[in-house]
Amino acid sequence: MESVIWPERRAFWGGRRVVVTGGAGFLGSFVVERLRDLEPAEIIVPRSRDYDLREIGAIRRLLADARPDIVLHLAARVGGIGANREHPADFFYDNLMMGVQLLHESWQAGVEKFVALGTVCAYPKYTPVPFKEEDLWNGYPEETNAPYGMAKKMMLVQSQGYREQYGFNSIFLLPVNLYGPRDNFDLHSSHVIPALIRKCLEARDSGASEIVAWGDGSPTREFLYVEDAADGILLAAERYNSSEPVNLGSAFEISIKDLTELIARLTGFSGRIVWDTSKPNGQPRRKLDISRARERFGFMARTSFEEGLRRTIAWYEEHRRAADG
């Protein structure tokens, strides 16, 4: 199948200049690797030390320097529940300023296509499962990450408005929680999978008898392996030309309790799991309806959850040893 698709895909990217904001980050690094295989004319990865995307002057400089045909906007200020609770204003301001100004200036600069990455956190707290794109506005997001979710969701409103008024070709994708190699394993700001992997490995290696996990383990989550997410973003850039939002997910749902027990098994931690119910659970359930992505641009996740976890654990163990040694 790939041998049939690749020539067609390379033909789309050939000759095009592509800016990937956040291209040095977790998801962005995989998107850039995939892009290299597709052989665009040039890939530009702006670094925050050179272009602070919260500042309109820096955005204008970037667009003038890079002269992109396509902008993939993956840059974001992200973190787990703890980080969102501690910095709600920063998560709102930074993400809103980056997204709204970059999309506007890209339209002004004559960019051919703008790909905006939203977040599953934009969905209402109590959304019927599986989450369908048409349910996005049926309530307020879960409180612990609402500022982040709402800031990202404004790019959807903007995308639709700019398409209607100016005919600007921008699209809005809603990835579910991502995981994989190169993720953030800092316990103060990481998401649930890297945090649990680190806790389990440190407990295993130190001989600790227990680990502490947040909440009561009852919420469910869907996770998408980072390389699958990169494929989905690039397929959408090639094939999708509408401002209707599109979910990117795996269709696999697991409770936090089962997730924690699975990670403990895969890391070789055999101690007790203690649930700290003074900590928030977050949204009760998250599982996406992924039919639109399949129908509109042929995206289906290919990596099984356990295989993705094994690769993530192996990467972290290898790099932790390198950092320690």
Annotated catalytic sites, by residue? 148
Instruction: Give Cα separations from 236 to 6, 74, 99, 298 (angstroms).
Output: 15, 14, 18, 9
What number of other Cβ atoms are within 10 A of residue 229's Cβ? 27
When computed from its CA atoms, the radius of gyration of the chain, rounded to whole angstroms, is: 20
Question: For residues 272 and 261, what is the distance between their CA atoms, to the nearest angstrom?
Answer: 10
Token pair 């670094």 is found at 47
- Continuous segment of H or E residues that includes residue 93: helix 88-108
DSSP track, 113-149: EEEEE--GGGSBSSPPSSBPGGGTTSSPBPGGGHHHH
| Cβ contact 254:316 at 8 Å | no
What number of other Cβ atoms are within 10 A of residue 152's Cβ? 26
Question: For residues 12 and 38, what is the distance between their CA atoms, to the nearest angstrom?
Answer: 9
